[in-house]
């Protein structure tokens, strides 16, 4: 049995390691950089680098790598060894402060959306000292930001850090107003939090991760899974998830062994992974971590996705992170649990025992309500992708309409505040199950709503729209920025108010009245809600192509808080739009290739055998059975040819130069043509004999891991 408390984080150059290995003055200077953002002197960096190198070498590292997150959606790394030449043909191991702080990978081959031309190769990686370095596979990994020669962000981390800085600045303005004008309003403070004034506001995130596991040998027989991450064909199995017997079911030994190895490696790397269970669909699973500071949570989630794939491979499995790897069963999401805390330990979204009397909590709550309503389109586009378009609204994920769930108690409190009526605080009822041997326990004041895109769940908001393959940087950049903008508006109003208490009350009431349309506690899947949402004037951006133009339309809010420059906004718009139609293009080419190389030969072979059998038997025996299947396969094969030709014509046609019009062709013409072609192939799978069909079936894939 491993000593988990001492073993946890053993491969991380964390605060305890730094304090033990660094001189006190160097440690103090580094902590000041981490907590206050002060510049680091090169002399300090040199000492930190030597201590980091010595520690990493003790852990078996021979190389170091600046680990960054370009706009590809995955991480990138370039490895350099610690060796340097010495006299006599020998080598020494060295690592300088300059090498720690800055790297220079080639920036020309990463997506830049026009920020970089091919010949403009220089890019820089810059150490993110707030995210701990770690050792993995014999390499010291240093989390970094990635920027162009002119300082423009080429990655996901830089704007994330900027957004965290923006909300920190504006939330501190709000807290300063409460500190200067009121007492006793911090009902949400933890008993153990220190009493000093907050100096920093931290956004925290816990990213639940869903995924599928299939047998690796079967995976390698599916070109669509290898090239696109999802099955482009597949007839539905007789049994899918209808019985609900996989959800929270007992974990199979092979999966348990995989999960155990995954947890152990993540724990060594300081990832607070806590929960694991079977998900709804056969072959689907979930893990969830404890909250971390947002940029660290983002780093940890990228590590988690990488290790999911690597460790699955060691167990003869393939991990599928696509949002919809299998049609007609649940896809996979990444629930983004977001909150705000002070550096003194106070959760600003904790209602406390009496939320009606907690003015500070209510102000932050209505700030989020306004932000979600006013910038609902930006939240929607933060979750837009070709893969997620298959998942959203499919009775397994929220629909494309943004709304908020706040629960019954908060809804009643907000209604009372808006109307100016008294609210009578409800005591927590005891849960009575009807079995005397079971203990009674306090019942929560509200149920949970799994259909809501943006749900308040006690002391945090759960954003359920991001897809399983997403970097959580994008959604959190948007959440941080839009909430920062509303807090800025609130701070301006309250700072100018003659009477803080009156101004605060009026602001909360006015905000609720203007933005309550975004609150919906009912069933987001119902037809009634779609009609009601339209009446309320809420957006319904159904596809990625519908959503992405809002980046340009509402990009000013990012510029105002220095999260993105205008050129960075346009670059990301272009990158995301290109990724969308290139994804579909790759899928369509894969589909055409699989039909020609796999499906058509299978159909011909089956028809040849059936025709031979009919000819052999027709003079002496009844051939009704053989003729029936031969006729059906022949007819369906003819339909296959027509739809295949139609898709190929679309792909060969001249595409518009404008990037939005280009993407619309794929969204409005290519995707429907692919869906029609899939229907025919899936029908053929049910007609052609198993010995002819070249692809592992859904039954094979979904029930392969035992």
Q: Which three-class secondary structure string do you get for 41-99?
A: CHHHHHHHHHHHHHHHHHCCCCEEEEEECECCCCCEEEEEECEEECHHHCEEECCCHHH
The token pair that represents 177 in the structure block: 């107003």
Query: What is the β-pairing status of strands 134-136 and 139-148?
Result: antiparallel
- Average the pLDDT over 502-516 and give the result: 94
Output the pLDDT for position 444: 55
Cβ 256 vs Cβ 348: under 8 Å: no
Write out the H or E segment, with its range, that includes residue 576: helix 566-594
CATH 3.10.20.70 fits 4-154, yes or no: yes
For the stretch 481-505, pLDDT in tens is 999 999 999 999 999 999 999 999 9
Cβ 387 vs Cβ 467: under 8 Å: yes
Output the pLDDT for position 429: 55
**In degrees, to the nearest 5, what angle opens at C-alpha 228 toward C-alphas 242 and 688?**
60
Percent of the chain topping pLDDT 70: 91
Cβ 666 vs Cβ 693: under 8 Å: no
Output the pLDDT for position 193: 52
Which has the higher per-residue pLDDT, 153 or 107?
153
**What residue has token string 């009704």?**
624
- Please determine, for residue 187, whether its predicted confidence score (pLDDT) is greater than 50: no
Whole-angstrom Cα distance, residue 432 to residue 429? 9
CATH 3.40.50.720 fits 209-232+243-332, yes or no: no
Q: Of 666, 664, 669, which is closest to residue 646 (Cα–Cα)?
A: 669
Which has the higher per-residue pLDDT, 269 or 358?
269
- Please determine, for residue 229, whether its predicted confidence score (pLDDT) is greater than 90: yes
Output the pLDDT for position 507: 95
Output the pLDDT for position 514: 95
Q: How confident is the model at residue 604 (pLDDT cuts 50, 70, 90)?
A: very high
| Burial (CB count <10 Å: 0-12, 13-18, 19+), residue 320 | buried
| pTM for the model | 0.93
Which has the higher per-residue pLDDT, 32 or 247?
32
Q: How confident is the model at residue 599 (pLDDT cuts 50, 70, 90)?
A: very high
Q: Of 581, 547, 596, which is closest to residue 657 (Cα–Cα)?
A: 581
Output the pLDDT for position 323: 95
Output the pLDDT for position 434: 52
Cβ 427 vs Cβ 537: under 8 Å: no
- Please determine, for residue 450, whether its predicted confidence score (pLDDT) is greater than 80: no
Residue range(s) in the chain whose domain bears CATH number 3.30.590.10: 209-232+243-332
Residue range(s) in the chain whose domain bears CATH number 3.10.20.70: 4-154
Residue range(s) in the chain whose domain bears CATH number 1.20.120.1560: 580-702
Q: How confident is the model at residue 447 (pLDDT cuts 50, 70, 90)?
A: low
Output the pLDDT for position 639: 95
| Burial (CB count <10 Å: 0-12, 13-18, 19+), residue 675 | exposed
Long-range CB contacts for residues 348-351, cutoff 8 Å, separation at least 24: 348/171, 348/188, 348/201, 349/188, 349/456, 349/459, 349/460, 349/461, 350/188, 350/190, 350/459, 351/187, 351/188, 351/410, 351/459
Cβ 533 vs Cβ 371: under 8 Å: no
For the stretch 136-177, pLDDT in tens is 999 999 999 999 888 889 999 999 999 999 999 999 999 999
**In degrees, to the nearest 5, what angle opens at C-alpha 545 toward C-alphas 399 and 562?**
90
Of the options 1.10.1370.10, 2.60.40.1120, 1.10.540.10, 1.20.120.1560, the CATH number for the domain spanning 580-702: 1.20.120.1560
CA distances (Å), origin 342, targets 167, 193, 198, 350, 659? 12, 10, 6, 12, 43
Output the pLDDT for position 191: 46
Which has the higher per-residue pLDDT, 246 or 134?
134
Percent of the chain topping pLDDT 90: 69
Q: How confident is the model at residue 382 (pLDDT cuts 50, 70, 90)?
A: very high
- Average the pLDDT over 212-220 and give the result: 96
Q: Looking at the DSSP assignment, which residues form a beta bridge with residue 1?
A: none
Distance of CA 370 to the CA centre of its chain: 23
- Please determine, for residue 4, whether its predicted confidence score (pLDDT) is greater than 60: yes
The token pair that represents 419 in the structure block: 């109307």
């Amino acid at each position: 049995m491993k000593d988990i408390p001492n073993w946890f984080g053993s491969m991380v150059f964390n605060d305890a390691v730094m304090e033990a290995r660094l001189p006190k003055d160097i440690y103090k200077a580094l902590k000041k950089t981490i907590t206050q953002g002060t510049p680091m002197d090169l002399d300090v960096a040199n000492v930190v680098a030597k201590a980091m190198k010595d520690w990493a070498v003790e852990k078996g590292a021979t190389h170091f790598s600046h680990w960054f997150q370009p706009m590809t959606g995955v991480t990138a790394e370039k490895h350099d060894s610690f060796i340097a030449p010495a006299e006599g043909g020998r080598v020494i191991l060295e690592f300088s402060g300059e090498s720690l702080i800055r790297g220079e990978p080639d920036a020309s081959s990463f997506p830049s959306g026009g920020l970089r031309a091919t010949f403009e190769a220089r890019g820089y990686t810059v150490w993110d000292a707030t995210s701990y370095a770690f050792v993995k596979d014999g390499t010291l990994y240093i989390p970094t930001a990635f920027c162009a020669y002119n300082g423009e962000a080429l990655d996901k981390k830089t704007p994330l850090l900027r957004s965290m800085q923006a909300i920190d600045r504006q939330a501190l303005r709000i807290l300063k107003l409460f500190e200067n004008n009121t007492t006793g309003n911090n009902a949400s403070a933890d008993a153990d939090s220190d009493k000093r004034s907050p100096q920093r506001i931290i956004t925290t995130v816990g990213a639940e991760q869903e995924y599928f596991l299939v047998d690796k040998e079967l995976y390698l027989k599916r070109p669509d899974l290898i090239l696109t991450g999802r099955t482009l064909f597949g007839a539905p199995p007789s049994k899918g998830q209808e019985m609900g017997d996989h959800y929270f079911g007992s974990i199979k030994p092979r999966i348990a062994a995989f999960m155990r190895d995954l947890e152990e490696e993540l724990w060594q790397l300081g990832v607070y992974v806590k929960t694991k269970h079977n998900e709804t669909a056969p072959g689907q699973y979930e893990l969830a971590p404890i909250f971390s500071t947002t940029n660290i949570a983002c780093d940890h989630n990228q590590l988690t996705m990488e290790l999911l794939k690597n460790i699955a491979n060691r167990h003869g499995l393939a991990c599928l992170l696509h949002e919809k790897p299998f049609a007609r069963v649940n896809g996979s999401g990444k629930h983004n649990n977001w909150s705000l805390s002070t550096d003194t330990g106070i959760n600003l979204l904790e209602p406390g025992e009496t939320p009606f009397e907690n003015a500070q909590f209510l102000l932050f709550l209505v700030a989020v309500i306004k932000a979600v309503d006013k910038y609902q389109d930006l939240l929607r586009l933060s979750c837009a992708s070709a893969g997620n378009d298959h998942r959203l609204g499919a009775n397994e994920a929220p629909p494309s309409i943004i709304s908020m769930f706040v629960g019954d108690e908060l809804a009643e409190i907000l209604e009372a505040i808006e109307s100016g009526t008294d609210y009578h605080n409800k005591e927590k009822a005891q849960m009575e199950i009807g079995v005397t041997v079971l203990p009674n326990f306090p019942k929560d004041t509200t149920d949970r709503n799994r259909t809501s895109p943006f749900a308040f769940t006690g002391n945090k908001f759960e954003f359920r729209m991001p897809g399983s393959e997403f970097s959580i940087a994008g959604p959190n950049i948007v959440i941080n920025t839009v909430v920062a903008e509303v807090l800025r508006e609130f701070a301006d109003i309250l700072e100018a108010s003659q009477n803080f208490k009156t101004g605060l009350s009026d602001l909360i009431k006015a905000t609720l009245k203007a933005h309550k349309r975004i609150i919906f506690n009912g069933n987001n899947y119902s037809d009634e809600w779609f009609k009601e949402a339209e009446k309320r004037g809420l957006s319904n951006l159904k596809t990625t192509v519908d959503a992405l133009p809002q980046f340009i339309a509402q990009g000013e809010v990012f510029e105002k808080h220095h999260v993105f420059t205008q050129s960075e906004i346009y670059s990301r718009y272009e990158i995301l739009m290109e990724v969308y139609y290139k994804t579909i293009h790759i899928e369509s080419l894969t589909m055409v290739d699989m039909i020609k190389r796999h499906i058509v030969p299978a159909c011909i072979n089956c028809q040849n055998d059936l025709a031979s059998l009919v000819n052999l038997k027709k003079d002496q025996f009844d051939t009704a059975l053989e003729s029936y299947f031969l006729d059906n396969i022949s007819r369906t094969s003819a339909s296959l040819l027509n739809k295949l030709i139609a898709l190929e014509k679309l792909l060969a046609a001249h595409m518009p130069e404008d990037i939005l019009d280009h993407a619309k062709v794929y969204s409005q013409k290519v995707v429907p043509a692919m869906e029609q072609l899939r229907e025919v192939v899936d029908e053929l799978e049910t007609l052609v004999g198993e010995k002819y069909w070249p692809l592992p079936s859904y039954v094979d894939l979904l029930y392969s891991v035992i």
